[in-house]
Structure 1
Amino acid sequence: VHSHLKYLVDNHASVWACASFQEIWPSPSNLQMFERAAERGNFEAAVKLGIAYLYNEGLSISEEGRAEVNGLKASHFFSLAERLNAAAAPFIWLFIRPPWSLSGSCCKAVVYESLKAECQLEKAQKGSILHCLAKVLSLFEDEEKRKESLEMLEESSKQGCLNSSYLLWESNRKAAMSDPGRYLQSLRKLRDYAAKGCWEAQIALAKACGNGNQLGLEAKSSSETVSQIFQASLPIRKQSIFTVQKGMNETMRYILIDWLVEVATMKDFSSLCLHMTVGCVDRYLKLRPVPRARLQLLGIACMVICTRFISKEILTIREAVWLTDNTYKYEDLVRMMGEIISALEGKIRMPTVVDYKEVLSNVTSLERRTLHLYSFICELSLLNTSLCVYSPARLAAAALLLAKILHRQAHPWTSQLAECTGFSLEDLLPCVLSLYQKCFHGDVPKDYRQVSLTAVKQRFEDERYEEIGKEKMMSYSQLCSLLGVKQEDPGPSPLHKNVVEIQTFLSSPCGKRTKRRREDSIQDDRGSFVTTPTAELSTQEESLLDNFLDWSLDTCSGYEGDQESEGEREGDVTGPSGILDVTVLYVDPTEHCCQDSSDEDNLGAGWAG
């Protein structure tokens, strides 16, 4: 190129900071370019370098001293990424959180110690790094580590980290409640954190106000505080997904979300984790095109990230690979995690319908079955992109109103609810009708094999939800009559159109491995859609495989000394060869011949015993 242009590119940091590394991964051939971009302020390059060094993915560092060398490199680039993205909540702790290996070298531990040393030496602001170190320590079952975690949060808070300030407030809340004056002061602090933009603080504030703790304010002012949080919620506009994703339609998204619900049910992940996962999937789909063959990879990678962010029980990378029936490799998932974090700019925790639902559940008292129905409607709303014209707050309010009407409660929308949300009954009617039409229409969408997609319904047919998924709902005409609106023909859902054009893009062994045994009819319904290696195992054999699941994929790349599963500690297992000697048969008369577990290309090493 012309020497002037070369000078501009080489010597202006803004060019490197704005360069896109989409679908490009660090490798020996481009490492110098990645490192140069990262050092000059490129967030995506820093994130991908940190992950690449942590998992030794794409850089091929020699085995000798790998964890120590890579750990120091990963620490440097994770620290850089955290400083470059000060606007988002600190996130690098997701990658180095426990469990750590108790024997051999552990790259996570090296990164932690390196970051800790950095905080002790540098005079620059390090609040977000201290927050990450504190989060890591708080997850250990060691009282000394937790005490050190609080000390780090204190220092991080002094340096202006809002997330650390909120976590300190959370840890001191119980003690503050014993003294009314101290508690009032505590709630005033909370109001300050909420005003500065901390989402968790805003939700905690709304719960406190809605529950009668009025921060020294009049009741009206307290309601206005909650209302402001609800009214600030904006529609997510998911329809733009299909502008970016040319080869994707609503049914394909429906199939993907339905499968994610099934995984969440099998692993007992919370509704918040599920809603966050779907939120990350949708935000990524609005930003970057994803080939059909990688949609499932995107979904499971988002779930891996979100479980790490909010849950003590994580979905490990090896288990996530297994859940896709080894359609993807360990390294594919590692790289997709880098793509997601980069595209979302480290912003994982965003407002969800569940957040507003928890506030409203505090504002009004609900019977248990109505509360379960409320949760059921909120999860059903995840499946339909057309509902995105409404904000999460409006959806949560309309779902509450619909749940109370379906259970024929008198005065379903009280003046207190109207004041706290800022939504009148008339404001919510269109959303209520849309929710009913999308969530309770008789003709459930089907995949290309004409298999009903009913994972949410199955999830709520469990006894813990009092089998609310089996409850027969009133008709649409009855609903319109109770609401006093003219019944209009809802018309066919676009999800039912052109189903024959949908090709399979999911493959999963999770279908029949839920911890809560489903009815045979439900299992058969889903069985033709997913591949289930454990489908023909006895209960005892299935339990054994549960305990050793991640070791069945131990030949995948990554650190053998840096296991993620909490069951993979020294002495817990002897190795894959000692797990279980069992032959697993795949029978699908429509597509596949009978296969046995010796076909390691399809099953992954370890299943053959």
Structure 2
Amino acid sequence: MLGPNASLDSELRGAPVPDGVAAGTRVPRGPPEKLCAPPGLEEALSSLGLAGEREYAGDIFAEVMVCHALPRRALPRTITPEMRALVVDWLVQVHEYLALAGDTLYLAVHLLDSYLRAGRVRLHRLQLLGMACLFLACKMEECVLPEPASLCLLSAGSFSRAELLRAERRILSRLDFRLHHPGPLLCLELLTALAGSGPQVMLLATYFLELSLLEAEAAGWEPGRRAAAALNLAHRMLDGAGSRPKPTLYSSVELDPLEWCMVRASLRGPAPGRAAVFLKYARPQRQGTSLAAARLLRRPQPGPP
């Protein structure tokens, strides 16, 4: 696993670059334009510390759950899904090393994907782009900002403070300062509160959701759907094959492709360039969740009667 102060340039330059890479095939998607507020929504908001927002419960639910995904546009020709995963894996390590908020990581990856789909990107600047996205996400989510000079040190001198700040300006210009994004972690917290899921289910679902950050195809799914797939998969693994959390906002057909994506990522284990999330959740502080998930997924399932 790369350390947070390791440079990616050598590994990225050695990766093959095909003529064109699609972000992944997906079934028709898109949540309903208007989701009805489910029963227990006000109580769920209260459990998340939003008791003062009960009057706007329906609007909050619609804003969080009916958030559009990124356009179905391929990655730039110079960037493969493996290269993107390598940078995201490194960002996960930097994020953990700096002890940043969970939403900061999801916003940083969203900004990275938004920029990658907005135009051409130079391969040797991909690590710089990832760090600049993390720096912008910190400005949106954190109370205390990391110093730009410290972020440069974590890249083993791959870029300077001036280059980091220039990259930040390019991102803001290309994205037209549109940085707000209700991430899938917020959706997961809301769905977990609605379903009354226990802490073990929440921890396992959070692991699956974070694993999906490494998959280029998952970037093309709405945050609410990604969160629902992670929670649904966690419930089925811990409570039985027929278990599904309530309320059911998406059908099995809508969630199955994402669940399989998360299952594949979990069974891959600590693969080179994709090990950070697995190792992070293997630690005792997170109850060895990644190890337990791999055992559960490899457990023989009962066949049809």
TM over 0.5: yes
Q: Deviations over 1:463-482 (max 9, x none)?
A: 33222122243336856x68
Counterpart in the other structure of 2:260: 433
- SS of the counterpart of 2:268? coil
Pick the structure with greater CA Rg: 1
Counterpart in the other structure of 1:328: 159
Larger RCO: 1 or 2 (CA < 8 Å, sep 6+): 2
Q: 1:410 and 1:445, CA in 2 relative to 1: closer, same or farther beyond 3 A?
A: closer
8 Å contact from structure 1 (residues 357, 397) kept in 2: yes
Q: Does 1:473 align with 2:300?
A: no
Counterpart in the other structure of 1:385: 216
Q: How do residues 292-303 of structure 1 correspond to structure 2 at under 5 angstroms?
A: 292-303=123-134
Q: 1:231 and 1:361, CA in 2 relative to 1: closer, same or farther beyond 3 A?
A: closer
Q: Equivalent of 1:278, from 109, 116, 138?
A: 109
Counterpart in the other structure of 1:313: 144
Structure 1 residue 241: Cα displacement: 4.3
Specify the code of the residue in structure 2 equivalent to 1:240.
R
Specify the code of the residue in structure 1 equivalent to 2:70.
I
Specify the code of the residue in structure 2 equivalent to 1:262.
Q
Q: How do residues 535-554 of structure 1 correspond to structure 2 at under 5 angstroms?
A: none
Counterpart in the other structure of 2:11: none
* Distance in 1 of aligned mates of 2:68 and 2:282: 32
* Distance in 1 of aligned mates of 2:272 and 2:214: 13
Counterpart in the other structure of 1:358: 189
Specify the code of the residue in structure 2 equivalent to 1:440.
S
TM-score by length of 2: 0.75
8 Å contact from structure 2 (residues 115, 175) kept in 1: yes
8 Å contact from structure 1 (residues 256, 296) kept in 2: yes
8 Å contact from structure 2 (residues 184, 224) kept in 1: yes
* Distance in 2 of aligned mates of 1:228 and 1:470: 35
Q: Deviations over 1:361-401 (max 9, x none)?
A: 21122332221111111100000012234321111001001
Q: 1:227 and 1:318, CA in 2 relative to 1: closer, same or farther beyond 3 A?
A: closer
Structure 1 residue 225: Cα displacement: 6.3
Structure 1 residue 444: Cα displacement: 5.2
Counterpart in the other structure of 2:70: 236
Counterpart in the other structure of 1:402: 233
Q: How many residues align?
A: 260
Specify the code of the residue in structure 1 equivalent to 2:255.
L
What residue ranges of structure 1 are gaps of 5+ in the alignment? 1-205, 448-452, 485-609
Q: 1:413 and 1:230, CA in 2 relative to 1: closer, same or farther beyond 3 A?
A: farther
Specify the code of the residue in structure 2 equivalent to 1:345.
D
* Distance in 2 of aligned mates of 1:457 and 1:463: 13
- SS of the counterpart of 1:412? coil
Q: How do residues 544-583 of structure 1 correspond to structure 2 at under 5 angstroms?
A: none
Counterpart in the other structure of 1:348: 179
TM-score by length of 1: 0.39
RMSD of aligned alpha carbons = 3.0
Structure 1 residue 215: Cα displacement: 5.2
Counterpart in the other structure of 1:593: none
Q: How do residues 177-196 of structure 1 correspond to structure 2 at under 5 angstroms?
A: none
* Distance in 2 of aligned mates of 1:215 and 1:310: 23
Q: 1:427 and 1:225, CA in 2 relative to 1: closer, same or farther beyond 3 A?
A: farther
* Distance in 2 of aligned mates of 1:216 and 1:386: 36
Specify the code of the residue in structure 1 equivalent to 2:283.
D
- SS of the counterpart of 2:200? helix
* Distance in 1 of aligned mates of 2:174 and 2:42: 34
Q: Equivalent of 2:247, from 396, 410, 417?
A: 417
Q: 1:356 and 1:385, CA in 2 relative to 1: closer, same or farther beyond 3 A?
A: same
Counterpart in the other structure of 2:279: 458
8 Å contact from structure 2 (residues 233, 259) kept in 1: yes
Q: Deviations over 1:313-353 (max 9, x none)?
A: 32211001111111111111111111111111112121211
Report percent identity of matched pairs: 20
8 Å contact from structure 2 (residues 69, 220) kept in 1: yes
* Distance in 1 of aligned mates of 2:60 and 2:135: 32
Counterpart in the other structure of 1:169: none
8 Å contact from structure 2 (residues 112, 130) kept in 1: yes
Q: 1:344 and 1:209, CA in 2 relative to 1: closer, same or farther beyond 3 A?
A: farther
